[in-house]
Structure 1
Amino acid sequence: MSTEIIDPATASVPAQGIRKNGKQWKLPKAPFKPGTTGSSSTSSKQSKSYLARQADRVQSSIIKAKEKELKAEKEAVRQQRIQSIKDKRAAKEEKERYEKLAAKMHAKRVERLKRREKRNKLLKER
């Protein structure tokens, strides 16, 4: 004779003895095991064979390599654009420097010519 309380609604559940927590009226539940539940996403991960997982790894590595290549290409284009901007700025600065130098040299030449004219004028006046 067992001391379990049997509910007619749960009569199909096999008896497992008296529960420790004393809640014999509650329905027994299966333990939560995510890998064995029957949901499509987790069970498909669990049931994949080694070859399928290896094929997935190869496929993901190919995709990652392609992404890396595309990123490198994009970065190269970006660096080229940056370099061209830097080159243009350097050329502009060099041009400005030469213009200043030319203006300075022209001023010196003009000054030299004025002195020469003054000398010549003084020589002619004698």
Structure 2
Amino acid sequence: MDSVKPADKPLGMRVNGKQWHAPKKAFRPGGGLTAYSQRAKERVAMAAMKTKEKEMKEEKEAERQRRITLIKEGKAKKEEKERYEKIAEKMHKKRVERLKRKEKRNKLLSS
């Protein structure tokens, strides 16, 4: 026998003459409802995904902050070095070294 599916057979002309509209299906208010167990599984899966996303975002932010601190520390060291070089132009080398040691002691006491 010929197996013809209902979707394959032509529907013919529509009564209202609007053939360009897609044919509508019956309204089923409970059609999209799912079982509680299925919804619970989906919720668990969603929670796991959210925690993984949060963890990944935190790792990315931590890496970003680490890079920022490295850059800031490098800039601070460079500025400090330039400052001591400027001082060294005016003062004696040994006096600059004494000044460095004194400032390091003061930094350690204040922090």
With normalisation by structure 2, the TM-score equals: 0.56
User: What is the rounded CA distance, in whole Å, between the counterparts of 2:54 and 2:29 in structure 1?
Assistant: 33
Letter in 2 for 1:71: K
| CA shift for structure 1 position 105 | 1.0
Q: Counterpart of 2:70? A: 84
Give yes or no for the alignment of 1:60 onto 2:46.
Answer: yes
- Taking the aligned partners of 1:102 and 1:89, their CA distance within structure 2 comes to 20
1:14-29 maps to which residues of 2 (within 5 A)?
A: none
CA distance in 2, matches of 1:89, 1:34: 67
Quickly say closer, same or farther: Cα 1:90–1:51, change in 2 above 3 A: same
Q: 1:51 aligns with which of 37, 42, 49?
A: 37
Query: For the pair shown, which has the larger CA radius of gyration, 1 or 2?
Result: 1
The 4+ residue runs of structure 1 with deviation greater than 2 A are 30-36
Identity over aligned residues, as a percent?
49
Q: Which runs of 5+ in 2 are unaligned?
A: 1-14, 17-23, 96-111
1:97 counterpart letter in structure 2? R
Any gaps of 5 or more consecutive residues in structure 1? Answer: 1-24, 37-42, 110-126
Give the superposition deviation at 1:88: 0.2
Alpha-carbon distance in structure 2 between the residues aligned to 1:77 and 1:97: 30
Q: How much does 1:33 deviate?
A: 3.5
**Could you tell me which residue of structure 2 aligns to residue 95 of structure 1?**
81
Q: C-alpha separation between the residues in 1 aligned to 2:58 and 2:64? A: 10
- Structure possessing the higher relative contact order (Cα contacts under 8 Å, 6 or more residues apart): 1
Q: Counterparts of 1:82 and 1:103 in 2: how far apart (Å)?
A: 32
CA deviations 1:65-108 (Å, max 9, x no partner) are 001101110110011011101100000000000111111213xx
